[in-house]
Amino acid sequence: MTKNRIKPALAVLLASNLVTQNAWALEKVSLVLDWYINPDHAPIMVAQQIGAFKDEGLEVTIIPPSDPALPPRLVAAKQADLAITYQPQLHFFADQGLPLMRVGALINTPLNTVIALDKNIKSPADLKGKSVGYSVSGIEQATLDTMLKHVNTPAEAVKLINVNFQLTSALLTGKVDAVIGGYRNIEALEIKLQGKDPVVFNVEDYGVPAYDELILVAHKEAINEPKIKKFLAALKKGSDYLHAHPQESWNTFASEHPELNTELNRQAWMKTLPLFTQNPAKLDKARYAHYEQFLFDNKLIKKITPVEQYATGVTE
C-alpha cells in the first residue's frame, strides 16, 4: 500500500474519531414541557431545527408530560434538568418551599383573557348579571375579581361557573356568557375559526399585574451549572431565528410534526410570535415582586417570598 493511499484513509479515520468524540462530548439536558408540543414552544423547537443546542455542546431531550402538574415536581425531585411552567404557579411553589428557581422565560406577557361573544359586552363592567365560565379555581377568580374592581363592578354581580376545561364549547353553546382562562393565541383563534367574532379582554389591561406566562425552572442547586446558561444561549438563537424566519420555521415544524399541521396551529404560531421574549435569560424582578404581592393580597399564598429565592436571571 502506498503512502498516498494511506493518507486519505488516515484522514477519514481521524475525522470519524473527531465526530464520535464530539458526539460523546455533548452534555445531556432533559426538558419537560408543560403540555404536549404546540406553538407556545416554538423557540425551543426552532433551536432544535437549526442545531443551536448542539452548537452549545448540548443534547436536549424534549419530553411532553403525562400529567401537566408533574414537570416542575420532576425537576424538584432531580428527575429532570428543566421544566416549563407558568409564573403564577412558580409563586405557589415558592410558598410551598419547593427547591425550584426560575432561570428563564419563553413568553413574557400574560396569555389569559376574558372572552365573550355578545357585542353588547364592551367592557368587563358589562358582565354584570352575566355568567362566566372558568376552569381553575382560586387564581382565575382573583383575576376576574380584580378586573371587575378595576371597572367599579362588584365581584358578586357576576356568576362564576366551573366548566371543567371546556371553555370554548361552554361559550359556543351558550352555557355561559363569557369565559376566563382562554388564551389570546389559542382559544380566541379557535373561536374565530368557528365563524364567530369574539370580544377579548386582556387581563393586564384591567388591573391585573403583568407576568411571564411560560417560564423555565431548574433545581436551586443546579442554577449555576454551565449547561443552564448554554441552554438559554441556544434558546435565544432559536428565538432570534424564529423572529427572522417565521414562515420557514413553521414549514419545518409542520413537516416534522404533521399531526400538528392544522390551521389553528398555523395561526397560533404567527399570533404568538411577538409574544416570545427575545432575551430568555432576562428577569424583571419588580414584575415578579408585584405579582407575588397580588397573590398575597388575594390570600392565595401564605407569605411574601423574596424574588431572589425563586427567580434568577439577567437584570437590567
The domain ranges of the chain are: 25-109+212-309, 112-206
* Mean pLDDT to the nearest integer, 227-239: 98
Taking the C-alpha atoms of residue 119 and residue 314, their distance in angstroms, rounded to an integer, is: 43
| Contact of 72 with 78, CB cutoff 8 Å | no
pLDDT at 215 over 70: yes
Report the share of the chain in percent with pLDDT over 70.
Answer: 92
Domain 112-206 is found in CATH 3.40.50.2300: no
- Cell numbers representing residue 89 in the block: 404557579
Q: Residue 152, class by beta-carbon neighbours within 10 Å (0-12 exposed, 13-18 middle, 19+ buried)?
A: exposed
Residue 7: the pLDDT is 46
- Cell numbers representing residue 298 in the block: 388575594
Q: Residue 297, class by beta-carbon neighbours within 10 Å (0-12 exposed, 13-18 middle, 19+ buried)?
A: exposed
Give the architecture (CATH level 2) of 25-109+212-309.
3-Layer(aba) Sandwich (3.40)
One-letter amino acid at 299 equals K
Taking the C-alpha atoms of residue 175 and residue 177, their distance in angstroms, rounded to an integer, is: 7
Taking the C-alpha atoms of residue 116 and residue 234, their distance in angstroms, rounded to an integer, is: 39
Taking the C-alpha atoms of residue 309 and residue 180, their distance in angstroms, rounded to an integer, is: 30
Distances (CA, A) of 198 to 99, 122, 132, 183, 224: 41, 11, 14, 12, 45
Residue 13: the pLDDT is 45
In this predicted structure, which of 1-5, 103-107, 195-199 has the lowest mean pLDDT? Answer: 1-5
> DSSP for 132-200?
EEESSTTHHHHHHHHHHHHTT--GGGSEEEE-TT-HHHHHHTTSSSEEEEEETTTHHHHHHHTT---EE
Residues in Cβ contact with 63 at an 8 Å cutoff, skipping those fewer than 6 apart? 30, 31, 32, 33, 80
What average pLDDT does the chain have? 93
- Cell numbers representing residue 303 in the block: 407569605
Taking the C-alpha atoms of residue 130 and residue 109, their distance in angstroms, rounded to an integer, is: 28
Residue 316: the pLDDT is 59
| Contact of 213 with 139, CB cutoff 8 Å | no
Taking the C-alpha atoms of residue 229 and residue 61, their distance in angstroms, rounded to an integer, is: 16
Q: Grid cell 409574544 — which residue?
A: 275
* Mean pLDDT to the nearest integer, 294-313: 97
Domain 112-206 in the same topology as domain 25-109+212-309: yes
Residue 18: the pLDDT is 45
Residues in Cβ contact with 113 at an 8 Å cutoff, skipping those fewer than 6 apart? 180, 182, 183, 184, 187, 188, 200, 201, 202, 203
Instruction: Please choose, from the candidates 65, 59, 58, 114, the residue with its C-alpha nearest in 3D space to the C-alpha of residue 85.
Output: 65
Taking the C-alpha atoms of residue 176 and residue 169, their distance in angstroms, rounded to an integer, is: 10
- Cell numbers representing residue 24 in the block: 460523546
pLDDT at 292 over 70: yes
* Tens of pLDDT, residues 133-174: 999 889 999 999 999 999 999 999 999 999 988 999 999 999
pLDDT at 94 over 60: yes
Instruction: Please choose, from the candidates 173, 204, 172, the residue with its C-alpha nearest in 3D space to the C-alpha of residue 188.
Output: 172
